[in-house]
Amino acid sequence: MSITLHQLTRRYGAVPAVDDLSADIPTGCFFTVLGPSGCGKSTLLRMIAGLEPVDAGTIALEGRRVSGPGLHLAPEARGVGVVFQSYALWPHMDVAGNVAFPIEATGIARRAARIEAKQHLASVDLDGFADRRPADLSGGQRQRVALARCLAARARIVLMDEPLANLDPHLRAAMEDEMAAFHARAGATTLFITHDQREAMALSDLVAVMRAGRFEQIAPPQDLHDRPASAFVAGFIGRGVVLDCTVTAVAPGHAVVRLSPDICIDVRASDPGIGPAQVLLRPGDLRQDPAGVAGRVLHCTYRGDHWEARVQVPALARPVLVHLSQRAVPGETLGVAFSGGWVLPAG
């Protein structure tokens, strides 16, 4: 394991920012911590980097314990790379100087360090930019300088704190590809912090959804979307509606749930018990079907390549989301067919 977190806790006053958190992050993994602002994800990153002390628990990097009771290895001795949200490029050094800095810190002379830095700049396609100041670069170029600085440090663990948050939306998609390429090239274990589920889905091997200082679920992106462990995860990732239901029959990987006296559907499940439960219905689990259950359209929103309608089926407690190929008028009645769903694990 590359990063091992064990019962990690950090409090600000009485409020825990990170609360008894444990996780193992495999070597070479692109591991994303996804959560709303204030969930403690930046504190977690800062503790791993050594920029923040731990109140309880331990952190081990590459098998070496770096934080724990009575132990705090200084950030400069941990050998991790960090890409900051602001990129933290030193404004008084040129681009090559920024990238050469971690090389110099290992004791290599300035001139030799600059030569090595230029190789790293070449690997992020910034060949001609060595003598520019960070202020003269675009957002995407600054991002790449920050990545090159990480490469120069030859860190086996790279921590990224919302590195795409300051970029224009159209640039963000392009930088996602660069991030993936960077990860493949460096082969370093990457811990990526974000509040953007789309980024997390696009980049990660594993995603941890964080809430109030704890990981709610750690899973590959598709599992997270299709098989969320809790209503919070289900609500945070993708679109969908969680409804109360009763499980009436079970089979391996499947269950039959009753949503109302008239509506029973076959859904995916992982070992549920017979009885009351909650089911997640994604828009993909429903479709418009004149032969289905009748519902009234409350609201219709254009989502780019389809229309998303919020439809109230009278027998259900909450409106469901249905994808339509054409616009529907609020107040209109349309038929809805249920083709699947996911029973949220109990507890």
Partner 1 sequence: MPTETRAVPTPWSGLRRLTGAPVLLGLIGLAGVALFVLPLGAVARLAFFGTGGGGDAIADALRSPQVQRALWNSLDSSACAAALAVVVGGGLGLLIGLTDLRGRVALSFAILMLTMIPPHVTAIAWMQMLGPSSVLLQALGIAPALGSTHPLYSREGVIGLLALQQVPIVYLTLRAALRALPRDLAEAARVSGAGPARLLLRVILPLLGPALLAGFALAFVSALGNFGVPALLGIPGRYVTLPVLMWQRLASSGPAVLADMAVLSVIIGGLAVLAVWAQFRVLRRGAVALIGPPQQALRLNLGRARPLVAGTLWAVMALVVVVPMLAMLATAVVPTYGVALTLQTLTWQHFHEVIFVQAVTARAFANSAGLAVLAGTGVAALALATGALSRSSFGLGARAVTVLAEVAYAVPGLVISVGFIIAFLKPIPVLGLSLYGTHAIILGAYLSAFLAVGLKPVGVAFAALDPALHEAARVSGAGFWRRFWRIDVALAAPAAASGAVLVMLMAWNEVTLSSILWTRGTETLGTVIFNYEDGGYSTLAAAMSVISVLATLVLLGLLHVLGRNLPPGIIPWRG
Whole-number Å distance between alpha carbons of 165 and 85: 7
Furthest-apart CA atoms within the chain: distance in Å: 78
**What is the DSSP track for 227-283?**
S-SSHHHHHHSSS-EEEEEEEEEEETTEEEEESSSS-EEEEE-SSPPSEEEEEEE-G
Pairing of strands 214-219, 56-61: unpaired
Residue 95 CB, nearest distance to partner 1 (Å)? 14
Q: Does 187 bind partner 1 (CB under 8 A)?
A: yes
Q: Which of 55, 56, 79, 141 binds partner 1 (CB under 8 A)?
A: 79
Residue 229 CB, nearest distance to partner 1 (Å)? 33
Q: Does 7 bind partner 1 (CB under 8 A)?
A: no
Give the interface segment with partner 1, choosing from 34-42, 185-193, 241-249, 286-294 (CB under 8 A): 185-193
Q: Does 106 bind partner 1 (CB under 8 A)?
A: yes
Whole-number Å distance between alpha carbons of 151 and 153: 5
Q: Judged by CB, which is closer to partner 1: 63, or 252?
A: 63
**Contacts with partner 1, 28-67, as mask; x by CB under 8 A:** ---------------------xxx----------------
Whole-number Å distance between alpha carbons of 274 and 4: 37
Gyration radius of the chain's alpha carbons: 24
Q: Judged by CB, which is closer to partner 1: 84, or 232?
A: 84
Residue 178 CB, nearest distance to partner 1 (Å)? 15
Q: Does 151 bind partner 1 (CB under 8 A)?
A: yes
Give the interface segment with partner 1, choosing from 6-14, 35-43, 100-108, 189-197 (CB under 8 A): 100-108
Q: Does 235 bind partner 1 (CB under 8 A)?
A: no
Q: Does 133 bind partner 1 (CB under 8 A)?
A: no
Residue 158 CB, nearest distance to partner 1 (Å)? 10
CA distances from 119 to 39, 96, 130, 151 (A): 38, 10, 10, 10
Whole-number Å distance between alpha carbons of 88 and 145: 10
Residue 179 CB, nearest distance to partner 1 (Å)? 16
Where do we find the tokens 């600059």? Answer: 114
Q: Does 12 bind partner 1 (CB under 8 A)?
A: no
Contact 267, 248 (CB under 8 A): no
Give the interface segment with partner 1, choosing from 91-99, 164-172, 217-225, 284-292 (CB under 8 A): 91-99
Residue 343 CB, nearest distance to partner 1 (Å)? 44
Q: Does 180 bind partner 1 (CB under 8 A)?
A: no
Q: Judged by CB, which is closer to partner 1: 8, or 113?
A: 113
Q: Does 117 bind partner 1 (CB under 8 A)?
A: no
Residue 307 CB, nearest distance to partner 1 (Å)? 39
Q: Which of 212, 151, 211 lies closest to 184 in space, CA to CA?
A: 151
- Phi, psi torsion values for 125, nearest 5 degrees: 60, 40
Pairing of strands 241-251, 320-324: unpaired
**Contacts with partner 1, 299-318, as mask; x by CB under 8 A:** --------------------
CA distances from 122 to 4, 145, 274 (A): 33, 10, 60
As a 3-state breakdown, the chain gives helix, strand, coil percent values, each rounded to 5, of 30, 35, 35
Binding site for partner 1 (CB under 8 A): 49-51, 74-82, 84-86, 88-93, 101-102, 104-106, 123, 149, 151, 153-154, 156, 185-187
